[in-house]
Amino acid sequence: MSEAITTRFAPSPTGYLHIGGARTALFNWLLARKNQGRFVLRIEDTDVQRSSGEMTRAILDGMHWLGLDYDLGPFYQSQRLELYRSYIRQLIDQKQAYYCRCSPEDVENMRKIAREKGLKPKYSGKCRELGLGPGRDTVIRLKAPLEGQTIFHDLVKGAMAVDNSQLDDFVLERKDGTPTYNLAVVVDDIEMNITHILRGDDHINNTPKQILLYRALDMAPPLFGHVPMILGPDKKKLSKRHGALSVTAYREMGYLPEALINYLVRLGWAYRDEEIFSMEDLLKKFSLENLGSSASVFDLNKLNWLNSHYIKESDARRLTPILKEHLSPDLPPYDQEYLEKIIPLLQPRASTMQEMAEMAQFFLVPDQELVLDQKAVDKFLTSEARQYLGEIGAMLQQVEHFDRNSLEQALKDYIEEKEISFKAVAQPLRVALTGKTASPGIFETMEVLGKESCLNRLFRLHEID
């Protein structure tokens, strides 16, 4: 492909950056980066009442977290209104657009009459040839062709054709002087030299209208590709109950950006039978040819599987600041070095960093504040088990090197001396030290907790019923 490829992501800041938008951004980013092109970020904030600075910041933060950098922007449509008006004046001057004084009620009545006749419900063209000028209650409409077809090749769906008789003279400028979505988008895409547009197929009805605008402006349209929507497991439109949350929410739940990127790209794109892709892999392998034309189903279990993979593969030092974000602020101060010792024990067990933070809790609470699961206490901390643990505590005081191998050997010697099984002390020891019945390996856990904490936790058992 040409090096001149320029793609864009153009979110509206009326909501956070959600899964569908992030996938659109990713596909456009990959197409530009794969072809040494440019990626543009544009904030479509002309809906002043619903747009907010908070949402804009969340979109920018989400893009940054995902690693989707941009070459130009962010551009804000709200700052480009005069540019849009200049294009509208050009269309008026060239007789490609006209003023219309029909009220919304008039237009709705036209649509009603068309429906009753079995026709496409649309504006009738009443003011098309009246030669009206500007007025307080006028809008400006495109003078669309009445015959023929609008044909384009969709990069995902293939050949597409729409009869122009099905389209109407849609509004370019509202009566308050603000441009409509289709006008602003086309002007921006022209001004920003956009060559390829990948977007959700909920936009496919806008494409013929936008192509008509390009023709009216005597400009070549970009190439369009419409990717199918993401569905929930029930094959219905993705909603919050399925996982249609913001990128920020996934970060707060403890997902890693590379896991979310990997998951998003597989919602509508495939390469052979591979499932795991680093960003480097994607930049080598991404192509338009492998975009799917059928809807993708969101599967949280798959995302969790990918996230657990990336957690396992990550360096503990890289995960340390992320783990800190998820730990309770009520915990006492802890140092970086201690967290770096904890993380390798939890990496094989955690699907998210939030899960890891919950698993790490027992390492970080003060020894006297460790909460023991009552069911585990009732089952495993019998009077006999408590006696064993008291003796083990006394024995551990004599262990000089408090490391995994030394601890394992010391406990082995104790078990042989008492002529009991490892099972008789393993779970009681785990419950006493961690408060629960599931944890990383007991000797690795003891080594990280350290001698002082292990002894404190064992010797406090006489205080616990």
Residues in CB range of 359: below 8 A, 6 or more apart? 346, 349, 350, 439
Q: What is the DSSP letter of 67?
A: T
Question: Residue 415 and residue 409: Cα distance in Å, rounded?
Answer: 10
Q: What letter does residue 128 receive in the DSSP assignment?
A: T
Question: CA-CA distances (angstroms) from residue 158 to 107, 195, 270, 271, 287?
Answer: 34, 17, 18, 20, 15
In a 10 Å sphere around its CB, with 0-12 CB exposed, 13-18 middle and 19+ buried, how is residue 365 labelled? middle
420/426 Cα distance (integer angstroms):
11
| Six-digit token string for 347 | 């990496």
How far apart, in whole angstroms, are the C-alpha atoms of residue 245 and residue 372? 35
**Closest CA relative to residue 225, chosen from 287, 277, 283, 284:** 287
Cα 7 from Cα 196, distance rounded (Å): 5
Q: Are strands 158-163 and 149-154 parallel, antiparallel or unpaired?
A: antiparallel
Is residue 237 part of the annotated active site? The answer reads no
Q: Please write down the long-range contacts of 299-305, taking CB distance under 8 Å and 24 or more positions apart.
A: 299/233, 300/243, 302/263, 302/266, 303/243, 303/255, 303/259, 303/260, 303/263, 304/351, 304/352, 305/351
| Both structure tokens of 445 | 């856990």
Instruction: Assign 3-state DSSP to the chain and report helix, strand, coil percentages, each to 5.
Output: 50, 10, 40
**Which residues neighbour 274 within 8 Å (Cβ) at sequence distance 6 or greater?**
none
CB atoms within 10 A of CB 336: 10
| Alpha-carbon dihedral angle through residues 414, 415, 419, 422, given to the nearest 10 degrees | 170
Catalytic hit among 95, 112, 120, 240: 240
According to DSSP, residue 352 is labeled S
Sign of CA dihedral 126, 132, 134, 135: negative
The helix (run of H) or strand (run of E) holding residue 200 is: strand 196-200
Element (H, E) at 358: helix 353-364
Catalytic residue positions, numbered: 240
